[in-house]
Amino acid sequence: MQSLIVVPTYNEARNVPELAAQLFALGLPDLHILVVDDNSPDGTADVAEGLNGTFPGRLHVLRRAAKEGLGKAYVAGFKEALRLGAGNVIQMDADLSHPPSAVPRLLEALETSDVAVGSRYIEGGGAVEEWGLLRKLISRGGDIYVRAVLGLPIQDTKSGFKAFRREVLENVGLDQLASAGYIFQAEFVFRCHKMGYRMREVPFVFQERRAGKSKMSVGILVEALWRSVWLRMKTRAIPRQVKT
């Protein structure tokens, strides 16, 4: 398996078929999708499994017992991706806010880096007008705060649109990742940065979700504030990676 896309889902039954169709239409060699579903009451897992008739052997479903947060879902998905034998692993949202057309650029970036980060905040990146000024300011302000606290060299610290070489997931310490909400994204790249992995940002334009409701909450924002400081205090516990 050359590349596998990990997609965490909760009530995304209306979006998964379109996402799968657009991804497989890219024509990327040996591309697979792993849907990690947190027991969605709308039957997302059943819908995903039903797509195997259209894309036989290329769409996998990992059913989880309950909704435990984005971070837990991704850790479970990354472990399953390694078990399935993926060479490169991509992560993206199910709601089409991350454009499938940008996936080839992320994979291309892995030719000269270990981690490719889809970025809204470098030249060529951005967000659709539907976001509005206030939402853009809150999002950008959050990134500035996280970058300042953690000393990260990337602009889009909260990006959920990324690609990794297999060895990154093998060595980063998946069981040590503790964040549940969107700050999981910053925790992951923070560990990669401290371990010495090469990271490269790739521009993309964030889209408004096609269907369903956003999973953002006040609790997720609060977690991002305090856990950034907590991660900084735990820096010494992150080993520098050794490459041969």
pLDDT digits (tens, 9 = 90+) for 187-212: 999 999 999 999 999 999 998 766 55
**Segment (H or E) for 177:** none
Give the domain ranges of the chain. 3-237
DSSP code at position 207: P
**Segment (H or E) for 151:** none
Please answer whether residues 128 and 207 qualify as being in contact, where contact means their C-beta atoms are separated by less than 8 angstroms.
Answer: yes
- pLDDT recorded at residue 201: 97
- pLDDT recorded at residue 216: 46
For 3-237, the fitting CATH number among 1.10.150.120, 3.90.550.10, 1.10.540.10, 3.30.70.60 is: 3.90.550.10
- pLDDT recorded at residue 163: 98
Going by C-alpha positions, the residue among 199, 217, 101, 107 that lies closest to residue 150 is: 199
Cβ–Cβ contacts within 10 Å for residue 174, how many?
16
The pTM score is 0.86
- pLDDT recorded at residue 37: 98
- Residues 6 or more apart whose Cβ sits within 8 Å of residue 90: 3, 4, 5, 6, 103, 106, 107, 162, 163, 164
Edge-to-edge, what's the strand order for the sheet holding 88-91? 59-63, 31-37, 3-9, 88-91, 162-165, 115-119, 199-203
- pLDDT recorded at residue 183: 82
Going by C-alpha positions, the residue among 93, 88, 106 that lies closest to residue 168 is: 88
Residues of the chain with pLDDT under 50: 215-217, 242, 244
Tell me the C-alpha distance between 109 and 14, whole Å: 31
Please answer whether residues 207 and 99 qualify as being in contact, where contact means their C-beta atoms are separated by less than 8 angstroms.
Answer: yes
